[in-house]
Structure 1
Amino acid sequence: MEALGQIGHFGTGTLGYLIPFLFVLTTVVFFHELGHFLVARWCGVKVKAFSIGFGPELIGFNDKRGTRWKISAIPLGGYVKFLGDEDVASTPDHAALDSLTEDERRDTFFGKSVWQRAAIVAAGPFANFLLSIVIFATIFTLYGREVTTARVDQVVPGSVAEKAGFMPGDLILSIDGSKIDTFNDLQRIVSTSADLPLAVVIERGGQALTLSATPQRREVTDRFGNVHRIGQLGLSRDASGGNVTVERFSFPQALVMGAQETWFVVDRTFAYIGGLFAGRESTDELGGPIRVAQVSGQVATLGFAALVNLAAVLSVSIGLLNLFPVPMLDGGHLLFYAIEAIRGRPLSPRAQDIGFRIGLAAVVMLMLFTTWNDIVHLTSL
């Protein structure tokens, strides 16, 4: 009963989460599907529907080419449906395809070459990455970046850093070959590298020294009461006076930084997945729609820029997730097309159907698992 009471308490605050959640998810989904849509139109595919959300249509209209643009009742994704698709996952409708004339079939998704189909499918994740780069770049252009010199101010007694030989005044130059320009760079790498040995190059007394340190995993509570397990060394910075500056960037410079920021999210995601298989990371960090809604509502209290930044991070994550080689996802379609390109002919309808069923089961299990994680997370607050 206590758990139900906690969930009920969350429910009373859902209005505070709903608008930010819908803004973030709708933005990410719209651009993902827009990528599919634009490349499909460019390749001459007839698009029957462009939907934000699943289920019954709430509102919509037809454009001059016959595409139905609509918003549907379940706001947990979206889809573009092409001529010849059986369902929103672009499973081929063989009966419908066989009934089309040769000219009509050329307008279908399945009537295009394997390279055109691959381009259409890859355009969704690509649009997500592009959206993230542009959002990050815009934030860097408008707000700049607060920079604190990567110089150690204090070393926590008894910490990993003290045992590794760090001293106040050390300037961090690089970690595992990655250049460190700011203390924030140091924090981001260390926090996501718990239990992994790091080679840290420092400058001390005008000389470069290399220290080896393994961040210790610790539980940290953020301002919203969420508990995160991150790596820490035990170093602090001097955030006073001239040690903190705000760097400003032109838009071309910001685009480069936006691409670097997008790659950082991709790299850390792969590091987390690798940690899961190695047993270093916990599946407790995996979240679903409920967690996204909760985080969206919390981040919205920090301002619009913070919410848009969250949309950029989520866009990278959705783009990357869709590239996993799982049937039902874009990466699964790309896997089938790669096999088709190598064999010179597509897999049999039976083999594809089995693949889609396996993919559907995998996606449903992941959704159920992350939703269960979300519920456990909420009841522990």
Structure 2
Amino acid sequence: MLGFAQTALTYIIPFLFVLTLVVTVHELGHFLVAKWFGVAIDRFAIGFGKPIFQRVDRSGVEWRIGWIPLGGYVRFSGDDNAASVPDQDDLDHLRTAIVRHEGPQALGKYYHFKPLWQRACIAAAGPMANFLLAIFLFALLLGTVGEVTHPAKVTGVAPGGAAAAAGFLPGDVVTKTDGRTIRSFEDLERYVIVRANVPIQFEIERGGRTIDLTAKPALVRDVDPTGGTQEVGRLGISSQVTAADVVRTRYNPAEAVVVGARKTWEVLDTTVYYLGRLVTGQVSAEQLGGPIRIAQASGAVAQAGAEGAPDFGFMLLGAFVSLLGLAAVLSVSIGFMNLLPIPVLDGGHLLFYAYEAVARRPLGAKVQAAGYRVGLALLLGFMLFATWNDLQRLRVFHFLGGLLS
């Protein structure tokens, strides 16, 4: 019992907090924009399965929390098609039923009879809400806790490493990578870690001079904060700085929003770049992670934030602040993934709307149904593969094999 309580505090509660925050804001994006355009909504749900909470408000919207907290959805009135984009015949039947029961004036409140640009805005609102959440969370942390950084100063170069081969020396300060400004050693690490075996152009300062170097980070298997292993790019340099080198910066509200937007863009840029390498086979698909890895990361981040706190209250505060940072990063990833042109995701709806804009009519029902099934299969396959990778990282099958042998 004590072990379960410890696991819940360490992994389950942080995971549910982060995931629920990101999913709720995503669905609120759809909901609020739909409300703005006057769309009738039947249900706003967080989680799937049987409800553990449900309430119908005065506008007729059912607010529901399901017992499986792995997603959410907004159900529009008349939205009984699995792909949420009915073909012309479905629209005709739906229009006839609405006119018969509610009159022709009621058509304007149904999602499927809204102008195409409004439906596209509603579909895109979820991912956009995720990006705005990331900017808000980054800005909140930058304006309150601040940002702790230290210069990208090289104090050690590993013999035989990529940096040594490129000509790095102790005392070098990295100022740019591939033309991008490097503001801290953390920036440098984040840039290098996803570029194993990719030549990088470095601009460094050495003894008052500017020198250009080219290095190709080596692919190494490293232990991540969750206790598992991951393949990352490493230069073979270290940076040990004194307390005088560490800078804590707190931003005013305007600056915090600007820097928060920049950090959101950097996370998005890194996500797109890494996914591109994954699709082209430059990075092993074994690096993909699913809910288990997110739960592990949530637990590790919460523990790191709570370390060194003088009492339980400060432990909770430290964990909470750290989880907000993780939620910001995860929100960017969720926003981007939902924009992929897969029929069950928001990007798939936008793809259907693009076809409708060109063809002047919705895609046929059979094509939509086939696209929905393929998209669902792809999504479920991705989730299963990612979960398999998580279990492999935890050596679950090795452990079970030892029990059965």
Does the TM-score normalized on the shorter chain lie above 0.5?
A: yes
1:304 to partner: Cα distance: 1.4
Counterpart of 1:78 in structure 2 is 72
TM-score by length of structure 2 reads: 0.87
Do 1:79 and 1:88's aligned partners in 2 also have CA atoms closer than 8 Å? no
Query: Structure 1 residues 154 and 16 mapped into 2: Cα distance closer, same or farther (>3 Å)?
Result: closer
Query: Match of 1:371, as an amino acid?
Result: T
Residue 325 of structure 1: SS of its match in structure 2?
coil
CA distance in 1, matches of 2:302, 2:206: 42
More displaced 10-residue stretch of structure 1: 32-41 or 299-308: 299-308
Q: Which runs of 5+ in 2 are unaligned?
A: 306-318, 400-405
More displaced 10-residue stretch of structure 1: 299-308 or 133-142: 299-308
Do 1:105 and 1:111's aligned partners in 2 also have CA atoms closer than 8 Å? yes
Q: Which runs of 5+ in 1 are unaligned?
A: 1-8
Counterpart of 1:139 in structure 2 is 141
Match of 1:227 among 203, 226, 229: 229
Query: Structure 1 residues 293 and 223 mapped into 2: Cα distance closer, same or farther (>3 Å)?
Result: closer
Residue 368 of structure 2: SS of its match in structure 1?
helix
1:236-266 Cα distance to aligned partner (Å, 9 max, x none): 2232132112122112111111111111111
Query: Match of 1:312, as an amino acid?
Result: A
The answer to whether structure 1 residue 313 and structure 2 residue 313 are counterparts is no
Query: Match of 2:97, as an amino acid?
Result: S
Counterpart of 1:169 in structure 2 is 171
CA distance in 2, matches of 1:316, 1:89: 24
CA distance in 1, matches of 2:340, 2:197: 26
Counterpart of 1:205 in structure 2 is 207
Residue 152 of structure 1: SS of its match in structure 2?
coil
Query: Structure 1 residues 73 and 236 mapped into 2: Cα distance closer, same or farther (>3 Å)?
Result: same
CA distance in 1, matches of 2:141, 2:222: 27
Query: Structure 1 residues 72 and 224 mapped into 2: Cα distance closer, same or farther (>3 Å)?
Result: closer
Counterpart of 1:192 in structure 2 is 194
1:80-123 Cα distance to aligned partner (Å, 9 max, x none): 00011116763546555541113233211101011000000000
CA distance in 1, matches of 2:231, 2:248: 29
Counterpart of 1:153 in structure 2 is 155
Residue 211 of structure 1: SS of its match in structure 2?
strand
Query: Match of 1:140, as an amino acid?
Result: L
Query: Structure 1 residues 54 and 180 mapped into 2: Cα distance closer, same or farther (>3 Å)?
Result: same
Query: Structure 1 residues 20 and 173 mapped into 2: Cα distance closer, same or farther (>3 Å)?
Result: same
More displaced 10-residue stretch of structure 1: 262-271 or 74-83: 262-271
CA distance in 2, matches of 1:140, 1:255: 9
Residue 341 of structure 2: SS of its match in structure 1?
coil
Counterpart of 2:184 in structure 1 is 182
Residue 347 of structure 1: SS of its match in structure 2?
coil
Query: Match of 2:29, as an amino acid?
Result: G
More displaced 10-residue stretch of structure 1: 322-331 or 185-194: 185-194
Residues 1-381 of structure 1: matches in 2 within 5 Å? 13-14=7-8, 16-86=10-80, 90-92=84-86, 96-101=94-99, 102-301=104-303, 302=305, 303-379=319-395
1:298 to partner: Cα distance: 2.2
Do 2:220 and 2:233's aligned partners in 1 also have CA atoms closer than 8 Å? yes
TM-score by length of structure 1 reads: 0.93
Q: Which runs of 4+ in 1 moved over 6 A?
A: 9-12
CA distance in 2, matches of 1:280, 1:83: 45
Count, aligned residues: 373
More displaced 10-residue stretch of structure 1: 221-230 or 354-363: 221-230
